[in-house]
């Protein structure tokens, strides 16, 4: 098995799927308020995908080796949940932070992105965790260009996160994506500069760091999916899907309302 190089036509399909994932996150944003349940967010997203976008929710019944089929159409990871939080009947409350991770399939191609949301007024330490995680993702993205390595990405993310007093989750990573939801390569969010696979134009993968306010250790809940911090500290995650271009990168999960990159960063590098 090796890393596929996508053709310009493949990348155009992934650009469309990526935009639809970003537009789905735009759509759900105003609903993320105190009192709504994550099941309601799931239903709203499901209906928008199926009835408005004519996309397929990739998570629904997704069952990679050894897992029970995922029961919902999106992932909602609240507070100490790191990732793969399964929507449920519990209402969100003021001060919660929630990651919403969506993956749509359009014409057989996947678009995968996630953002953090603050529910009403949120503590400054929770906001800082979300902000540092977002910046960490961008420090990783900024490394992407032909000739750079996967280790450069992981190293940039890990260094930035640890300088800011947080920890990087090791058990989950970014991934190649295309007609398959998860394919090679694995994109670790920690590592050594210069190590690992060398990037080439036409590669498409996600960068999706999970950052804990406390220790990096994880625990899996009995539902077989939800991953939480072992020390019950808060956790945040952001995810973009991008392609390596001749000169650098192009972020594919972009819509009109996608948060603009931090100062000094851009959705496309020149």
- The answer to the question of residue 101 lying near Co ion (CB under 5 A) is yes
d(CA 210, CA 147): 26
- The answer to the question of residue 152 lying near Co ion (CB under 5 A) is no
The correct pick among 23, 42, 96, 112 for binding Co ion (CB under 5 A) is: 112
- The answer to the question of residue 112 lying near ligand MF3 (CB under 6 A) is yes
Pairing of strands 218-220, 240-244: unpaired
CB of 69 to ligand MF3, least distance (A): 8
- The answer to the question of residue 20 lying near Co ion (CB under 5 A) is no
The correct pick among 101, 116, 143, 151 for binding ligand MF3 (CB under 6 A) is: 101
- The answer to the question of residue 188 lying near ligand MF3 (CB under 6 A) is no
Dihedral (CA of 204, 242, 172, 34) sign: negative
Contact call for residues 34 and 263 (beta carbons, < 8 A):
no
E strand intervals along 164-226: 167-168, 174-176, 183-187, 204-207, 210-212, 218-220
- The answer to the question of residue 206 lying near Co ion (CB under 5 A) is yes
Which two three-digit tokens encode residue 101? 């991770």
Residues 25-84 that bind ligand MF3 (CB under 6 A): 59, 62, 70, 75, 84
How many residues sit close enough to Co ion to count as binding (CB under 5 A)? Answer: 5
Residue 175 Cα distances to 11, 150, 189, 208, angstroms: 16, 11, 11, 9
- Give residues in contact with ligand MF3 (CB under 6 A): 59, 62, 70, 75, 84, 101, 103, 112, 206, 208, 225, 239
């Amino acid at each position: 098995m090796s890393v596929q190089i996508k053709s310009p036509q493949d990348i155009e399909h992934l650009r469309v799927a990526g935009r639809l994932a970003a537009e789905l996150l735009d759509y759900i944003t105003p609903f993320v308020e105190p009192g709504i349940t994550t099941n309601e967010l799931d239903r709203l997203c499901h209906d928008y995908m199926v009835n408005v976008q004519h996309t397929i929710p990739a998570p629904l019944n997704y069952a990679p080796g050894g897992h029970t089929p995922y029961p919902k159409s999106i992932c909602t990871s609240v507070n100490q949940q790191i990732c793969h939080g399964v929507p449920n009947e519990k209402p969100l409350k003021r001060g919660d932070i929630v990651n919403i991770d969506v993956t749509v399939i359009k014409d057989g191609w996947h678009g995968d992105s996630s953002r953090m949301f603050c529910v009403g007024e949120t503590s400054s330490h929770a906001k800082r965790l979300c902000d540092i995680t977002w910046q960490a993702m961008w420090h990783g993205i900024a490394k992407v260009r032909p000739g750079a390595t996967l280790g450069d990405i992981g190293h940039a993310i890990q260094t930035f996160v640890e300088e800011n007093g947080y920890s990087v989750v090791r058990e989950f990573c970014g991934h190649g994506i295309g007609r398959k939801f998860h394919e090679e390569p694995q994109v670790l969010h920690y590592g050594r500069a210069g190590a690992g696979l060398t990037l080439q134009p036409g590669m498409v993968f996600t960068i999706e760091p999970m950052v804990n306010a406390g220790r990096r250790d994880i625990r899996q809940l009995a539902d077989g999916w939800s991953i939480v911090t072992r020390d019950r500290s808060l956790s945040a995650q952001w995810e973009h899907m991008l392609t390596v271009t001749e000169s650098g990168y192009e972020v594919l999960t972009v819509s009109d309302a996608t948060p603009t990159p931090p100062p000094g960063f851009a959705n496309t590098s020149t």
